[in-house]
């Protein structure tokens, strides 16, 4: 997927924001994960939203990966994340998100156990052309009890689906948010993160 980044500013009082923080206190820093299948757009997601130069741990793909990495939906992909992507975004002056993108290939999944420590929630990034690739991330977050949201990364030229259609196809529980977004668009990435944080806070005992 392309890496174009939208220059649209973040609007602090968007309707999607159903919670508020006390501006008199110090900023709260929280960690969130972005997981999903190979080539689903995790690196683009982190890069689109980060206010700092994102940390990437990408390696050039070689012929040795052909038997295990399916490039049918991403023929122009030449690199892959081998450890993590990392970015940071400040929301509404008093909330800082540290966003970690996980590696997508099964041979790098051992990194997930380290990345999940201290996270308040995760986003499962999904591609409707390869929904089955979302199940490992869904199963992982379910097994460790981490609140999560599903963000469908809509690729150009692909069929559009309603969130409820995706929910049914993935058997996502009714309380889990499902949103349609574009990983290249800063605005829709921010909205996805706000949805996740609100969902995670709703499930946190006061």
Could you tell me the residue ranges of all domains in the chain? 27-58+78-203
Q: d(Cα 195, Cα 16) in Å, to the nearest integer?
A: 7
Give the pLDDT confidence score for residue 130 in this predicted structure: 92
Domain 27-58+78-203 has CATH 3.50.50.60: no
H helical segments located in 109-172: 112-115, 135-144, 163-170
How many helices (H) and strands (E) the chain has is answered by: 5, 7
Q: d(Cα 104, Cα 130) in Å, to the nearest integer?
A: 13
Sign of CA dihedral 39, 154, 1, 11: negative
Q: In what order do the strands lie in the sheet with 95-101?
A: 55-60, 79-91, 95-101, 28-36, 119-126, 148-153, 178-181
Give the pLDDT confidence score for residue 61 in this predicted structure: 37
Q: Which residues pair with 87 in a beta bridge?
A: 99
Task: Tell me the pLDDT tens digit for each residue of 49-94.
Answer: 999 988 866 544 344 434 444 545 444 434 544 457 899 999 877 8
Give the pLDDT confidence score for residue 117 in this predicted structure: 92
Give the pLDDT confidence score for residue 25 in this predicted structure: 60
Sign of CA dihedral 24, 7, 156, 34: negative
Give the pLDDT confidence score for residue 18 in this predicted structure: 42
pTM, to two decimals: 0.74
Give the pLDDT confidence score for residue 108 in this predicted structure: 57
Per DSSP, the three-state class of 188 is helix
Q: What residues of the chain score a pLDDT lower than 50?
A: 1-19, 21, 23, 59-69, 71, 73-78, 80-82
Give the pLDDT confidence score for residue 197 in this predicted structure: 95
């Amino acid at each position: 997927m392309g890496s174009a980044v939208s220059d649209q500013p973040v609007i602090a009082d968007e309707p999607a924001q159903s919670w508020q923080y006390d501006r008199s206190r110090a900023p709260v820093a929280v960690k969130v994960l972005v997981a999903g299948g190979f080539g689903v757009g995790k690196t683009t997601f982190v890069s689109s939203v980060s206010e700092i130069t994102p940390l990437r741990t990408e390696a050039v793909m070689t012929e040795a990966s052909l038997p295990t990495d399916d490039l049918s939906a991403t023929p122009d992909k030449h690199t892959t994340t081998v450890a993590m992507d990392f970015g940071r975004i400040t929301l509404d002056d008093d909330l800082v998100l540290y966003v970690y993108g996980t590696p997508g290939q099964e041979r790098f999944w051992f990194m997930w156990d380290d990345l999940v420590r201290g996270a308040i929630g995760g986003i499962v990034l999904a591609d409707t052309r390869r929904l089955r690739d979302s199940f490992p991330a869904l199963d992982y977050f379910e097994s460790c009890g981490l609140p999560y949201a599903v963000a469908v990364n809509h690729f150009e030229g692909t069929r559009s689906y309603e969130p409820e259609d995706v929910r049914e196809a993935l058997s996502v529980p009714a309380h889990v948010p499902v949103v349609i977004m574009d990983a290249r668009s800063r605005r829709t990435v921010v909205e996805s993160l706000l949805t996740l944080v609100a969902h995670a806070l709703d499930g946190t005992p006061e």
